[in-house]
Amino acid sequence: MQKLTRREWFKSSGKVVIAAAVAPAVLANVAEAATSKATQASVQYVTHPNGKEMCSNCKFFIPGAEPKADGACKVVAGKISPHGYCTIYMPKK
């Protein structure tokens, strides 16, 4: 087994300290990105259906207080029309 000089040990342990200091910041950014919602523009949201495909039939849609009232989406930010449509549409099963 090869012995490390004190200088070599400090060089190698310094990299570990830097990685340990940077890792929490990187993980915090990843967690924030995972919890933020997509913009309506990024998913090409429109307020009209695409044939039978519409938000009220999507598994991500959160209904409003009344059947025809705007609701919300688990994935997309902002008010969502039950008759709207976007590219991440996923039918309810």
The label of the residue with tokens 């009220």 reads: 56
Per-residue pLDDT, 11: 76
User: pLDDT per residue over 21-51, tens digit each?
Assistant: 555 665 555 555 557 999 999 999 999 999 9
Reference 71, options 45, 93, 42; nearest CA is 45
pLDDT at 18 over 80: no
Per-residue pLDDT, 22: 56
Per-residue pLDDT, 38: 97
